[in-house]
Every structure is written in structure tokens, then in C-alpha cells.
């Protein structure tokens, strides 16, 4: 039982890491209806900018500010040169454009900052908390707890931003109905630039946490694949959905990895581990059959 809880808690904390990436997707989808596949590449670019600036001699805080600047500029440029020209195109065209954008970033970022895998030290050692280890014989990572804290702060900040600022209100209005928002004088393009800036910021936070955890390298782009099942489970448009979805996916994925392969092994023989690649997707799929718009997604009403 002890082991079960250890896996469960480890999974929940991993889920927080997935949610961090998923948040970026949600931000952009919510405000502009674009399914931004380049979010994973943006995570990579953000982390690479931080270590790149540190390598050029900047202290950590300055590097973070610089990286934030880079990401914001990049987000605005994306909006201006790519998405603005694709307004009124079908969603699939926008989606494809973001895949193109992902390739673009995967070429650009390492060209500027180099493609070697590098470490990113945030000063938090990823070790088990000793008191928990001694008293309960359970491994809880310090780093993961910090990550969970960061995620909590981030979500709170975003929630406050959406709820109480003028820009946040405009964002929500745009998300509800583009045309209605335009007609009451909300500058749509302005708002989208802000959204991409915010998404860049979320990518920066996710990139730093993942980079500190596994090293800053190309594989950071794969974090997007961990975030997608979180998204469909939580719903594309919901910030709390991303968090709850992340927790569910993280926990169930780890539990499944521990408990399902032995069952299959008894059934078929052979080694059936390594199911983490598909399990979250199948889980999310099954979930969708019950609730097609995700946990917190808006119910879609068809009009004929």
C-alpha cells in the first residue's frame, strides 16, 4: 500500500509538469481558437534562450528576463507575420501553420544558441525529502514539490489576470465571440499579440522546470506529446481543466505503468512495460467517449 501511494504521489507531481506545458496550449486556444502545435518547440526555445544567455555571461535572473523578452517578441512576430495573414482560414490551416512554426523554431533556436544538451541549474536539488523518507519510507522529490508550487502560483496569476485586469476581460470577451468583441471596440490583433506573449511566458516557465529536470535539449519539444492527452481530458479551453487533467493523466499513467504490464504478462507472456507512450491517449480517448468535450470544455451546440 505504501508503494501504491508513493507511485500515486509521484504521478500527481509528474502530472503537474504536464499541466505546465498544457497551460500554454490552453492560453492560445482559448483566445484565438488556434491549436498551437508549436508550443513544445516554444518550450524548447525558451529554455534554450535561458541557458544561452547564461552562457554569454548573464546571471540567472537577467537571463530569465532576456528570455522572456525573446519569447514575447517572438510571439508578437508570429502573430503579426503568420497568424494575422491566416485570419478566416479553416482551423486546420492554422493548425498546420503552427506545425510549420514548430519546424521553424527547431531550426532557429539551436542555430542561435547551439544544440548541445546543457544543464540548467535553478539551485533546487532533485532529491527525496529525508523526513518523509525516514518516517513513511516514501520518496517525494523536493524538485517536484517546487514545481507544483510554481504551477500553483502560475495558475493563480493567470486566473487573476483573466478575472480582474482590463486586458483579461478583453481576452475573455474575444474568447467568447470574436465578432462581438470586435464590434464593441476590442482591438483583436492587439489582444492576440498579448495572448502569444503570455503563451511565451508559460512556455518559459515550463521550459525552465523541464530543462532543470532533464537537461535543456531538443527532446524538450516532446513535452508537447505529454501535454496533448492532458488537453483533451481537461478540455482545450479550460485553465483548471489543464491542471486537473494533468493530475489525472500523471497519476493514472504511473499507476498503469506499474500495475498493468504484470497483468498482461500473465495473459500473453513476454514483457509489456513501456506503456506510458500510449496509455494517456487511450485513457483520454475512453474518457472522451463519455464526455466528448473534455472535463471542463465548453459544450458544443450544433446549429443547422
Helix, strand and coil percent figures for the chain, each rounded to 5: 75, 0, 20
Which residues lie closer than 8 Å to 171 by C-beta, 6 or more apart? 30, 31, 162, 191, 194, 195
Shortest Å, Cβ 10 to other proteins: 5
Residue 65 vs 119, nearer CB to other proteins: 119
Minimum CB separation of residue 59 from other proteins in Å reads 18
Residue 247 in contact with other proteins, rule: CB under 8 A: no
Of 149-157, 173-181, 190-198, 287-295, the segment contacting other proteins by CB under 8 A is 287-295
**Near other proteins by CB under 8 A, which window of 155-163, 168-176, 190-198, 263-271?**
263-271
**Among residue numbers 221 through 240, which ones bind other proteins (CB under 8 A)?**
222-223, 225-226, 228-229, 231-232, 236
- What number of chain residues touch other proteins (CB under 8 A)? 90
- List, as one string, the DSSP characters of 72-135: HHHHHHHIIIIIGGGTTS-HHHHHHHHHHHHHHHHHHHHHHH--S-B----S----B-HHHHHH
Q: Does 217 bind other proteins (CB under 8 A)?
A: yes
Triad 275, 279, 284: Cα angle to 5°: 175
Q: Does 14 bind other proteins (CB under 8 A)?
A: yes
Q: Is the dihedral of CA 257, 260, 263, 268 positive or negative?
A: negative
Decide: is 300 part of the binding site for other proteins (CB under 8 A): yes
Binders of other proteins in range 128-157 (CB under 8 A): 128, 133, 139, 141, 143-144
> Could you write out the DSSP letters of every residue in 146-205?
HHHHHHHHHHHHHHHHHHHSHHHHHHHHHHH-HHHHHHTT--HHHHHHHHHHHHHHHHHH
Indicate whether 96 belongs to the interface with other proteins (CB under 8 A): yes
Q: In terms of CB distance, is 109 or 170 closer to other proteins?
A: 109
**Applying CB under 8 A, does 69 fall inside the site for other proteins?**
no
> Please, what is the minimum distance in Å from the beta carbon of residue 165 to other proteins?
28
The answer to whether 177 contacts other proteins (rule: CB under 8 A) is no
Q: Which of 76, 99, 155, 186 binds other proteins (CB under 8 A)?
A: 99
Binding of other proteins at residue 292 (CB under 8 A)? yes
Does 184 interact with other proteins (rule: CB under 8 A)?
no
70 binds other proteins (CB under 8 A): no
Closest approach, Cβ 155 to other proteins, in A, equals 21
Question: Residue 102 corresponds to which cell in the numbers above?
Answer: 514548430
Residue 111 CB neighbour total at 10 angstroms: 9
- Measured CA to CA, the distance from residue 99 to residue 37 in angstroms comes to 6
If one counts every other C-beta atom within 10 angstroms of the C-beta of residue 272, the result is 15
Amino acid at each position: 500500500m505504501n508503494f501504491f501511494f508513493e507511485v500515486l504521489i509521484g504521478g500527481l507531481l509528474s502530472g503537474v509538469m504536464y499541466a505546465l506545458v498544457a497551460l500554454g496550449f490552453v492560453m492560445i486556444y482559448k483566445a484565438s481558437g488556434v491549436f498551437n502545435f508549436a508550443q513544445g518547440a516554444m518550450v524548447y526555445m525558451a529554455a534554450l534562450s535561458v541557458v544561452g544567455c547564461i552562457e554569454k555571461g548573464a546571471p540567472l535572473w537577467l537571463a530569465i528576463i532576456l528570455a522572456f523578452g525573446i519569447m514575447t517578441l517572438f510571439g508578437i512576430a508570429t502573430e503579426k507575420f503568420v497568424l494575422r495573414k491566416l485570419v478566416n482560414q479553416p482551423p486546420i490551416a492554422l493548425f498546420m501553420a503552427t506545425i510549420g512554426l514548430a519546424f521553424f523554431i527547431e531550426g532557429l533556436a539551436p542555430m542561435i544558441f547551439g544544440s548541445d544538451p546543457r544543464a540548467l541549474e535553478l539551485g533546487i536539488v532533485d532529491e527525496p525529502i529525508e523526513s518523509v523518507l525516514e518516517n513513511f519510507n516514501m520518496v517525494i522529490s523536493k524538485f517536484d514539490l517546487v514545481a507544483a508550487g510554481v504551477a500553483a502560483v502560475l495558475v493563480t496569476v493567470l486566473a487573476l489576470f483573466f478575472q480582474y485586469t482590463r486586458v483579461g476581460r478583453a481576452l475573455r470577451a474575444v474568447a467568447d465571440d470574436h465578432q462581438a468583441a470586435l464590434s464593441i471596440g476590442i482591438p483583436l490583433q492587439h489582444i492576440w499579440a498579448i495572448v502569444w506573449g503570455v503563451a511565451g511566458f508559460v512556455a518559459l516557465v515550463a521550459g525552465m522546470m523541464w530543462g532543470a529536470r532533464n537537461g535543456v535539449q531538443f527532446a524538450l519539444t516532446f513535452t508537447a506529446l505529454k501535454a496533448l492527452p492532458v488537453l483533451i481530458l481537461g478540455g482545450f479551453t479550460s485553465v483548471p481543466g489543464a491542471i486537473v487533467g494533468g493530475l489525472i493523466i500523471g497519476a493514472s499513467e504511473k499507476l498503469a505503468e506499474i500495475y498493468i504490464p504484470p497483468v498482461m504478462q500473465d495473459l500473453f507472456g513476454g514483457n509489456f512495460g513501456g506503456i506510458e507512450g500510449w496509455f494517456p491517449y487511450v485513457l483520454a480517448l475512453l474518457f472522451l467517449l463519455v464526455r466528448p468535450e473534455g472535463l471542463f470544455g465548453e459544450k458544443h451546440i450544433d446549429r443547422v
